[in-house]
Structure 1
Amino acid sequence: MSRSMKDTRLDVAGLLAHGSLRGTTPLYLTPTSAVIESVVLISQLEAIQRVRPNTVVVLAAEMGSGGWLVSAALRHAWERRASAVVVAGSTYSNAVIGLAERLGITLLAAEGNPAEVALSLAAEIGAALSVVDAELARFARAVAKDSTLADVLKTISGELDGVGVSLEYDGVVLASAGAAPRDSAKVITVDVGAANAAVPSALTARVPASGVHNLRLVRSILEVAAPSVKAAWLLGNSRDEARAVPTAALARLNQGPGSSGTAFEEDHRHLLSQLGWRRDERYAAIWICRSTVHAAGNDLTAVLRLLWRKVAARSPLAEVDGGWLALVPAAHQEVLSQLELRLKARLQPALAELGLVAGLSRWAEEAPPLPSIIQEARLSAVSARSAGPGTVLGFAGLGVAAAFTFVDKDAVALVAELTLPRLMASPDREAIVAAVAAFLDHRGSVSLAASALDVHRNTLQARLSRARELGVPLDNPSELLSVHLILTVLSATTHEKPTFQAPNETRKDSHEFPV
């Protein structure tokens, strides 16, 4: 059973009742008993200015002869947040006692020599500190036996009578134990990172403001536990790295379209168990990958796992061939929407800085098999590359347009150069490409295409005729799909230039009748 934090806490009321202050007479007592951490005997008034907080200031006998000295000492002690002021036993004016009351500082009168009170109090404080040292040594032995971060934090919290304790990295709680205070709390933090670490990491205790904990002792316990916390944290990271060995089969997904997910689950059950997957739950998949195919292969797994906790702390992130994968429980569509918002708000800046993109699977009324949602997330991430680092893209906003991402655009442009040389060499190529692409986009409707391009129907008809003259096979249905793909690629790779206007083309504001 752990020691209560009250046992080694010295305060004015306790020492007045059964301690070294029993031989003093209270001239004024504050409503709240102040904590006592040290004692000092003062024979020169200016020495009070060097007193630490929570100290009992004992005025030497020679300072008790004049009321103005006591008044000055009270003011200095109040400024230094002293626990109490002890003066030589004599009669003091109501003015001095009234000053102590106004300042809110305890004033005590010693029956004998104040120096004897100081010596007795120093001995009592020393005894209490020796008890603390023994308890800290016992605690150090206990916490050193824990091997996991959860166990270490649980031991610390138990030593602090259930106070909430957490390990935080860059403001993100990595692990915690104990109960969070319901009212206001005093936060005590001890650094557990390297001295030159770019990102701060800390062991934090949140002590209820209304409690009776000795805050200095709480800090001492955190400092004693810090090496064990750091060791358990590093050990946990090492184990996570070992469990998340890259799995090439997962990225390739050997199952074909429409196949059952049972075989997939069986083949990858070890990795899925590490991701926290359960067959009876519904999930969203998140795939993170590099923004370019040939990006440098720096090891980002440890950094990403820490950043990922800002999005879904209870859903692990595993490294796989081609990126990183996470499965997050998403029982409702709203959960998926909130997950996408968190990805963009909390992770997007870091992804941009690291040269990464992220993809998210979509929501469907009928839950798709596990391989499908992983494929959706992966396709979304690869499609996000064209928008640049930091892009977060959901498959719901992508759909069949994802197919265009996997087209070899250089090869298509080469086909255009070889099969449509006159179009590629034509000075009005951009206008012709835009006209034919709009015509095909609008299912062969001249009116809709002309409206989309903001040109007259006659102008569009002229450009379509010009395209036929340049060898574009618009009248062969079996070739239209390839033509549409070529024109889409050419449109995407064309730089903004002034549109060529053929001499015989008709503007939209022309007064000729449409054909």
Structure 2
Amino acid sequence: MSGRPSTLPITLGELMRIQPLSDTDAHLFDPARPVEQVVLAETFDRLRRCPPHVLVVLHDEAATGGWSLAAALHLAWERNLSAVVVSRTVAGSSSAALAERLHMSLIVIDADPIDVALQLAGQVSAPAAARALRQARLAEQLAEQTGIRGVLGVLNRELRPVSVALVLGEMVLAGQAAALVDRGPVKQVEIAVSAPGERSAARLVAAVPVPGLAVDQVESLLKLARPSVLAAWAQSRLDAAGRAAHEQAAFELLRHLSHSPPAEPAEIEVEVPSWTGELGWEVGRANRTVWLAPVRPGGVPSAEVTHLVRAAWQRGHASWPLIAEGDGWLSWHSGADPDDTSALRRALAGFRDSAAAHGLVAGVGRAHDGIAGLMRSVAEARLAAHVAREGGPTTVQWFDQVGASAALAWLPTTEIAQVADLCLADLMAARDRDALVQTVLAVLDCGGSLSQASARLGVHRNTVLARLTRARQLGLTFEDPGQRLALHVICYALASLEPLSSAGTVESTP
């Protein structure tokens, strides 16, 4: 971009954003229509001599009544004019309907037509000055906003039909998601929004219809909005950080209370502290916990990822907490009916795209009353989340459906695989190790039934027999009752860690 002011003709939509037209009633057909000239038409003869792309202001003989406006609209349509401006005393509902049928823009004013025409003529003749005036007006509106949504709301209103969004990675933090959708002839404009020293930069993204506003004009307005976005975003992150710290401390205190011995044996339930109400928590009711966790644990998540996950999870559920815990996050929903899961299911459905973007799974505990019940639901949700990892990103596992298999989720599979390297060295060195491990695991899971194992693996029974023979030769003597349980656990651990690498093998069902 050259940085010089645009000399392109001003558009009808741009004129509608500044005085004298910003406070008028308008029925716009095409805001992107260029306006190359303004004509004050006092007669129909003058109207007939107007070239295309003219904004005509009707006055005197050409604006004496409804019939004259109807005739003027027909002439404007024939001459391919940009818009017709007329006094409110002349326009009526029938005029608006006629303009809509003719696909002609009609602007209704209260001020004197001559004064309006003079102001518009000055703006059209000096488009750069008019755009500077628009930028000044936009800057005033942006300065009045204190939140990201307010800033993006102003941008989308002022740049309509351009869609604008604040984006971090592939996640829309605020604005219109349509800015990221490649639909129709559009040109995307991106402006980096980041504070000094930040590793992950957000972007203002705008989808500019083509033809429409000039891309450089949209870019200049986005740059104008960048300081307001930065200030609002910084404030929101400070507010979110303060809220997160408050929630984290409150949850740890609740956990401490749940583990404290009761004063008397009869006191089983811990009294809910009054300060939980300040956070909007209703932990005295039935609490059902959700545990969000990455498919592949990688230690404590970064503050940036936690900020994104919190924003996505609390979208539409601002009162729901999100507590960073270990390698994941926990939240819960409190309600009077422990069997009502509708709100939680809606939240999980709305979070699916974010779970896919960050590679997350979710575990859901059962509903339990009070603080002790909340902590029990937390433990259940964490177990369910570990089981959900077997299903890959976006998998949701409810503890009610897990059963005893939850114990397998806590097996130290990495350590068990290291043991296999020592006690089953021949097997671990074999090229067909994956197929052998999957086959032995399937046979053990099926109680020794070769037919069931072959059906599960999708291979012939003779193939299963051949693999079992080779597995025995490599040390997998699973027929020995004293070795069966240990080998079953080893095969489970290896299957959990090792993907099938051979194209000739068949995936087994979990």
TM-score normalised by L of structure 2: 0.49
TM-score w.r.t. the length of structure 1 is: 0.48
